[in-house]
Structure 1
């Protein structure tokens, strides 16, 4: 008997549509599950966006959450050709007379001229000292040229801070030794032992590089190691470096040239005002995001409700704050309009910064009491591992994993169901087709008998 290769061929019925319709009914639980998965994925994505806004909120709160945040100072040199300066939070406002009497310099020594960098100098051991530290360089037939000696010095594993180079002028090639650091403590001296010409101090062979300030000086001094010397309001400070840190508390001077000028350290109220504006912007952005998510994928989400309530509780507390004559932000120029948007009255803020700086700073930064300090602590708890957001995301991901397992089971059952239905309808199609053939045969036989 012929096999039915496609449903309905034997009977002429649209069995394929019947099976498809039945499978559509069977798939409805799976479709509902996939719809739920799509919603959860959208919620996870929404939490990702929300977490990004929380990160920005936390950063803005941190910029005002500690007393050091308000110690923002700027250092202004009246003559930046002589020196510049930078300041840290430990600086204090003030003005200083700066007199640079000497700039720190490196030690630099040069040899007499050789024919070229391939000239053979001699063999032996160079002992090079940089201040109190020294290292030895063995020179033999493999590296006895001027270039070989330069490379051997630079590649010495225990090099204590000297760089060798070759300068070629009209007279020939010269080996130049330069200390890597400035200051008298980094002065260079060179001695030789085992010179192949038998003399460790003459001007030929390896001993041509011998140098001891005030002693044998076979090298010429190009520049002498010097310390920086600076008078600050009449007090002298000496430094091996031109970068002088904490001669003035919290200030680093960068000396450039000899001369006198003034250094002014002032509080940078503009930077503080910028942080206050970022504080307000971060709050408004966070509230806008909460409103957007509550009318979207995270509608009626308890996590958002909790965060919003906690933030508003901080602003509505109105408790006294240690070190501040203010209890509310509005007293310092930060208020909310009728739509709940935080606004900053910059004129008022600048006025308070000038008249009662400590109260303003503590209003934000007092430990456990200041507005920014408390909000940063809250943001930390929201964003920490196993915190409010992390726990919510973990819960959603766990639901997705369970649904993935359910989905696999459903798809397996659907596959078996479709196979069963197709087998049943194929058998029916074959049977009906056979019956129709038999019926047609009987009819044709009866017709023949009637004709006879």
Structure 2
């Protein structure tokens, strides 16, 4: 008897759920092929393209970050320049430092002053002869502020600028009750009550006018309450006056004025005086001047902001020892960065010829380039030109308009022209309104609306709006764009949040990344589908091979049995 032993070969299929595909391994009785490695090779060949796309996205993200950093640095430069452009809010600036005023006072312990923007400059002699005071009176002392006073009746009180109120007292009312009753109506009467503890057994009621220069008026209701409290004497007059009510008296350039308040807003146009103490024998000089400190601070801030921007630019141009771009030089050889750098450099080199023929430049402010092309500031030079020729500083830095007519003013300037000179021939109709404004006989260059003369779109005068209140005639107009204004415009064009070269570049890269990410995701999804298809296909091949191997074994064993 012959014994037949049979060995059964098996194929094992393992699913790796975490990696999203099925790996196949086979015994020696199958095909012997490593399907797992084969599948991975085929799938990875397709994923390579997605990996290249992902690398491009990473590169774009780094560039977006660098562009955003550059944008922030440039906007910081513009923040420092904005107030130096000699523009009003209507012509595009948030403030105009050349229009800001301050008061330089010989002795600010006597008085101080605040000055409105664009107030006329001037020097004044001020003598504070008397400051305004609040009327203050007291009652007689009482032994307790909480015990009943024993007075019944009523009285009225008011400050001269208030309204009379009635105060009613009962015999069981204390000094505290009386104070509270008066204060309940202090906004109407203009009088405030308080209690002062003079000693352990003495308290006094104090009445104070809310405003300076206003006398407290008291009228007894017929019950003698005011006299009992010690507020009035037998004749009804104030008994204990602590501080008399008085007005402020100030002499300005020899003219004496009297006001009820120590805050005087109407003596000098645009100037508010705040009086602190009287100095009747001392004339104090007050100079209303341009706020030079704010201008100096802005210029100093500009130098710091520019140098931070410059450091960033240098870092983007750094190389390794082999001459290749450094790892952090994301914008190495970047065309947009080069364009912005050239534009900024060109604006920095702006020079202006002053009315006296002097050529003004950045160096006139004490600003020069050091050996690293960073800016450095000589404060002595800056202080000198600020204190001696502020008009030259304004002309060098800001937008300047001169006109042959004092009745011509600038309302808006959004022109791309850095300098512009023209003569306007202006006509008024019989009804008094502007009928036309022409240059060289061409009336299409400007339109008129009310008193406004508006530069026509598509012309060199687009973005200019003038206001003219004069009569028919010719007016010469000249514009010049100074260093700060020109640099601001160049940076704004490059770095504005919404409408600039950098904003466009960032938007384009973000849109590109969105498209690339979609393509990468699509490739990876299809690769996983391909993995599943291959796995199923090779599983069928392995199963067919296994079936064939088993059949071959059976045939072999059958032949052996036949023998």
Q: TM-score range by the shorter chain?
A: 0.7 to 0.9
Q: Deviation of residue 35 (structure 1)?
A: 1.7
Q: 1:311 to 1:437 in 2, by over 3 A?
A: same
The DSSP-based 3-state class of the residue aligned with 1:202 is: coil
The equivalent position to 2:330 in structure 1, one of 297, 312, 327, is: 297
The equivalent position to 2:134 in structure 1, one of 85, 101, 106, is: 106
The equivalent position to 1:4 in structure 2, one of 8, 13, 32, is: 13
Moved more, 241-250 or 48-57: 241-250
The equivalent position to 1:391 in structure 2, one of 504, 519, 524, is: 504
**Does the 8 Å contact 2:12/2:24 carry over to 1?**
no
**Does the 8 Å contact 2:25/2:36 carry over to 1?**
no
- Quote the Cα distance in structure 1 between the aligned partners of 2:260 and 2:114: 19
Confirm or deny that 1:56 pairs with 2:76.
yes
- Quote the Cα distance in structure 2 between the aligned partners of 1:118 and 1:401: 82
- Quote the Cα distance in structure 2 between the aligned partners of 1:306 and 1:44: 17
The equivalent position to 2:163 in structure 1, one of 134, 138, 147, is: 134
Q: 1:283 to 1:127 in 2, by over 3 A?
A: same
- Quote the Cα distance in structure 1 between the aligned partners of 2:373 and 2:536: 66
Match of 2:487 in 1: 375
The equivalent position to 1:412 in structure 2, one of 490, 504, 525, is: 525
- Unaligned runs of 5+ residues in structure 2 are 1-9, 16-22, 88-95, 319-328, 401-479
**Does the 8 Å contact 1:208/1:218 carry over to 2?**
no
**Does the 8 Å contact 1:75/1:85 carry over to 2?**
yes
Q: Deviation of residue 57 (structure 1)?
A: 1.0
**Does the 8 Å contact 2:344/2:491 carry over to 1?**
no
The superposition leaves residues 57-116 of structure 1 with CA deviations (integer Å, 9 ceiling, x where unpaired) of: 1122224322863577765555554344566664746473x4333222334454554843
- Quote the Cα distance in structure 1 between the aligned partners of 2:514 and 2:334: 21
- Quote the Cα distance in structure 2 between the aligned partners of 1:222 and 1:443: 133
- Unaligned runs of 5+ residues in structure 1 are 193-199
Q: Deviation of residue 364 (structure 1)?
A: 1.6
The DSSP-based 3-state class of the residue aligned with 1:392 is: helix
The DSSP-based 3-state class of the residue aligned with 1:69 is: coil
Q: Deviation of residue 160 (structure 1)?
A: 7.0
Q: Deviation of residue 258 (structure 1)?
A: 2.5
The superposition leaves residues 222-253 of structure 1 with CA deviations (integer Å, 9 ceiling, x where unpaired) of: 43443332334433233443344574666554
- Quote the Cα distance in structure 1 between the aligned partners of 2:167 and 2:134: 25
Normalised to the residue count of structure 1, the TM-score between the two structures is 0.74
The DSSP-based 3-state class of the residue aligned with 2:257 is: strand
Q: Flag the structure with higher helix content.
A: 1
Moved more, 315-324 or 48-57: 315-324
The DSSP-based 3-state class of the residue aligned with 2:58 is: helix
- Quote the Cα distance in structure 2 between the aligned partners of 1:99 and 1:173: 40
The superposition leaves residues 104-148 of structure 1 with CA deviations (integer Å, 9 ceiling, x where unpaired) of: 23344545548434748899998764543438689799x977656
Match of 2:246 in 1: 226
Confirm or deny that 1:26 pairs with 2:46.
yes
Q: How many residues align?
A: 438
Confirm or deny that 1:69 pairs with 2:85.
no
Match of 1:38 in 2: 58
Match of 2:223 in 1: 202
Match of 1:282 in 2: 305
Q: Flag the structure with higher strand content.
A: 2
Confirm or deny that 1:236 pairs with 2:256.
yes
- Quote the Cα distance in structure 2 between the aligned partners of 1:4 and 1:313: 71
